[in-house]
Amino acid sequence: MGNNPMWKSLLTGAVLQALMVLVGKVAPSVGQIPNFYAICGTALSVVAGALFSRWSPGVQVGQAAGGGAVAGGGSSIIGSLLAVATGQWPGFDIAGLGMAAGSGAVGGLLGGLLGRMLPGPAKQA
C-alpha cells in the first residue's frame, strides 16, 4: 500500500464504514434510526473522497472526482457487505448494494472535488 493515496483513502473509508456498522451492532437502537446507514455511509464516502484529494498533491479536477468516486464507492460497498455479514441488512438484495455503491460513488466524487477546493495548510516562513 505504501504512500498510494487511493489505497489509503479507500482503506480509511472502509475502516470508517466498519466503525459505523460496529456502532449499529453494539447500539441496535442507533441502527433503527430511519436511513441511518444510508446517510451516515454516504457522508463517510464524502470523507473518503476528500481524503483522496488531500493526499494527492497537484491532482487535477477530473482525477479528484474520479479517485474520490472510487474511494467513496469502494468503501461504501465494503460497509454494505459488513452490514450484511453482521445481520444488519435483513432485506439484502443486489439492487440495494448497487444503490449503496452508487450513492457512495457520488458522495466520494463530491468529496474529491471539495477536497481539491479546500486550501492546504499554511506555508511556514
What is the C-alpha to C-alpha distance for residues 46 and 50, in angstroms, rounded to an integer? 6
Q: 106 CB contacts (<8 Å, ≥6 apart)?
A: 42, 69, 72
List the chain domain ranges.
Answer: 5-117
- pLDDT tens column, 5-36: 999 999 999 999 999 999 988 998 887 888 88
- pLDDT tens column, 71-104: 999 999 999 999 999 988 888 889 989 999 999 9
Give the predicted TM-score (pTM) of the model.
0.89
Distinct helix (H) and strand (E) counts, the chain: 5, 0
The C-alpha angle with vertex 8 and arms to 108 and 17, in degrees rounded to 5, equals: 55
How far, rounded to the nearest angstrom, does the alpha carbon of residue 41 sit from its chain's CA centroid? 7
- Name the percent of the chain in helix, strand, coil, to the closest 5: 75, 0, 25
Check residue 67 and give its pLDDT.
Answer: 96
